[in-house]
Amino acid sequence: MEKIEKSIEVGRPIRVVYNQWTQFEEFPRFMSGVKEVRQLDDTHVHWHAEIWGRDKEWDAEITEQVPDERISWKSVSGASTAGTVCFEPVGPERTRVRVIMAYEPEGAIENVGDALGVMRRQLGETVEDFKEFIEDRRYETGAWRGTVKNSQKQGAGSAQGRTSPGGSTAGQEGQRGHMPGHATGDVPNDAWPFKQDVKKP
């Protein structure tokens, strides 16, 4: 399994940056090639994207999630992939985002060095577009503050509520992937089918 990594500093507080990343259904708004992301439940996400000119769909499972620290995932169908995104405060208004991706090429068309080159470029574009998206906003478009361990959501007591910009509370755990007609937010670039074989940083 091949591994790629990209880090970037974002000019927003860690809570805002992390909260936005939990809004998976909004990823198509800043992730090129991704047509649709559907949140199936708190730990499963369905992806639909165009990769190397081919239409693909796959399911991913959130294997670990710690608010303001990390989100890890793996594919459970389709190409064998995995990933972890880590969040680190570097100041009151700045956050370092580090994305580690692992990918197993499928078939002859993807098993050359070209595939890794394409993925590196796409991952770079994804984090740059995410940075631009969240820095252009005053608030995140939603949040899910729950905790996941070993692919299982932890008890409600471990989650934290979210207050929206208007002051209302979106429930104890906030919202996972709220995307009415694609209009609630924005999201990362190119299709990343994820599978958990990467080591945690």
- Name beta bridge partners: 49: 34, 56
Residue 60: partners with Cβ closer than 8 Å, 6 or more residues away: 44, 45, 46, 47, 73, 74, 75, 76, 81, 193, 194, 195
pLDDT in tens, the chain (201 residues): 778 999 999 999 999 999 999 999 999 988 878 899 999 999 999 999 887 778 889 999 999 999 999 999 999 998 888 999 999 999 999 999 999 998 776 665 555 566 677 778 888 899 999 999 999 988 899 999 999 999 999 975 333 333 333 333 333 345 565 432 222 233 333 333 333 333 333
**Domain 2-182 sits in CATH 3.60.110.10:** no
Q: Could you say which DSSP state residue 52 is in?
A: T
Cβ pair 109, 128 in contact under 8 A: no
Place of tokens 């974002």: 10
Domain boundaries, the chain: 2-182
